[in-house]
A and B are shown apart, each in its own frame.
Chain A
């Protein structure tokens, strides 16, 4: 049997306006739940951004022997510059190293006086292409054994730590989002069930005069879908409004570089917004479908 479109539109429209408070409750439930889910996604994206940015600054340092021969230095230089696994190499000569040394130990006069530029090793600051701990480790081993190289220092342990932290944070956020989604679904289910309970007599009559279950269900599902979509749109609007405040609350990026890029760009959140919209739709429609099924068993 064909379900007539004008019937569905009329029923849905009149139901939404007739039970305005309950409709409002459903919409607000969807909105708050999806806002929280969206916010947790935003945090997740932020953690990912911060990790990526931090890893972008990863480098390892190849210290040369201060008394390495010209040939040895050139060989290391050539290898570094020609290696396909290396993104960027900067040479820090002895004078530049001394300047850095002075900055690092400013105020410690004794130490500064005992050091002259010629005892400091010149070094290469190397930015590898692959920033994960294993690749960095492999690269540094490669250069550690070359003639003229004094030492290779890399931050593999730190990288490992940050990677672990980031993946755990992401996992945690996925869990929290999942629970929030589940809670949202149950809340919506309950609200819709309440709305349907108020109309159980109508359903009873429909059953008695021979309406098919789908005929009864579809207007309710369309109603749930409309509520879900409105709720999701409000949640997205809320996130868009909330984002600038969130940015302000975070410590300024120049003081805490870790937080730079922590608030994702709007373009990065398009996927999240899309997901929220779809979730609102699906949760609303399916929730209503499930909720009404309980009353169909006459």
Chain B
């Protein structure tokens, strides 16, 4: 599903975010990216989404080299990739339902699809009752559920999560991880960058550890360190 071949990313001023990374992630896998701040986790995720381009190497998503992708095709790549962030990135002037519906509308889904999909996905994340609330009326955990609903409503092949529990307390985080696990069980590949030792150690999934841009560990059913 995802393949990195000798990928490097060097920012301006010789800041190396990723160095000769080669890794393959299969369909339906759940992968944790761990490592200190600045080790290249976020860059890894941003490269997969083509928010940035590598300075060297090739990245394959669903069998296609995304380096060859012309700019106008990038939106179509992103429709196969859901994104969840530490800061949720919800639109504060739209309700919960509108935030989720927005993701379907902007890719041109017909209205009847929007009208059936949005309540269904909100029920899935356990927020059916809060559809008409605004994001600032929700707790952090609930807001993250909305953002997961938005990322998943389009049934993407891949879900990228950049420290999705970074702003949440441990109990709330467990709920979020359960949700991500459920999504993973539907066959969606999940790649999650995290600092949360407890989560990694409990879930026992594949762990890829980065240190100053290099992959120093790739362990099936791994632990945080």
List residues of A whose CB falls within 8 A of some B CB.
Answer: 1-4, 7, 18, 201-202, 204-213, 215-216, 298
Partner of A209, one of B51, B72, B93, B150: B150
Say whether A209 contacts B107, CB under 8 Å.
yes
Binds A, one of B23-31, B74-82, B194-202, B215-223: B74-82
B108: min CB distance to chain A, Å: 5
Partner of B91, one of A7, A205, A298: A205
Say whether A7 contacts B75, CB under 8 Å.
no
- Can you name the residue of chain B whose Cβ is closest to the Cβ of A206? B106
Partner of A210, one of B75, B89, B93: B75
Given the contacts A205-B102, A298-B51, A211 and B107 also touching, CB distance less than 8 Å: yes
Partner of A208, one of B76, B78, B108: B78
List the 4 closest pairs (A to B, CB-CB), nearest first: A211-B106, A210-B79, A210-B78, A209-B103
Q: Within 8 Å CB of A216, what residues of B?
A: 106
Most central of A1, A4, A205 by chain B CB within 10 Å: A205
Given the contacts A209-B150, A210-B78, A213-B75, A201 and B107 also touching, CB distance less than 8 Å: no
Say whether B108 contacts A215, CB under 8 Å.
yes
In Å, the complex CA distance between A3 and B79 comes to 16
Q: Within 8 Å CB of B151, what residues of A?
A: 209
Q: Check B6 for interface membership: any CB of A closer than 8 A.
A: no
- Not counting A209-B103, A209-B151, a sample of 4 additional A-B residue pairs whose C-beta atoms are within 8 angstroms of each other reads A202-B91, A210-B76, A210-B77, A213-B75
Q: Check B173 for interface membership: any CB of A closer than 8 A.
A: no
23 contacts between A and B (CB under 8 A): A1-B107, A2-B108, A201-B91, A204-B89, A205-B89, A205-B91, A205-B102, A205-B103, A206-B102, A207-B78, A208-B78, A209-B79, A209-B102, A209-B151, A210-B75, A210-B79, A210-B106, A210-B154, A211-B75, A211-B107, A215-B106, A215-B108, A298-B51
List residues of B whose CB falls within 8 A of some A CB.
Answer: 49, 51, 72, 75-79, 81, 83, 89, 91, 93, 102-103, 105-108, 150-151, 154
Report whether over half of chain B's contact residues are helix, strand or loop; otherwise say mixed.
mixed
Q: Within 8 Å CB of B93, what residues of A?
A: 18
In Å, the complex CA distance between A1 and B73 comes to 12
Most central of A2, A204, A212, A216 by chain B CB within 10 Å: A212
Given the contacts A208-B83, A209-B102, A3 and B89 also touching, CB distance less than 8 Å: no
Report whether over half of chain A's contact residues are helix, strand or loop; otherwise say mixed.
helix
Say whether B102 contacts A3, CB under 8 Å.
no
B69: min CB distance to chain A, Å: 13
- Can you name the residue of chain B whose Cβ is closest to the Cβ of A3? B108
B32: min CB distance to chain A, Å: 22
In Å, the complex CA distance between A215 and B75 comes to 10
B92: min CB distance to chain A, Å: 8
Q: Within 8 Å CB of A207, what residues of B?
A: 75, 78
Say whether B107 contacts A4, CB under 8 Å.
no
Say whether A1 contacts B108, CB under 8 Å.
yes
In Å, the complex CA distance between A298 and B89 comes to 14
Q: Within 8 Å CB of B75, what residues of A?
A: 207, 210-213
Most central of B83, B106, B107, B151 by chain A CB within 10 Å: B106
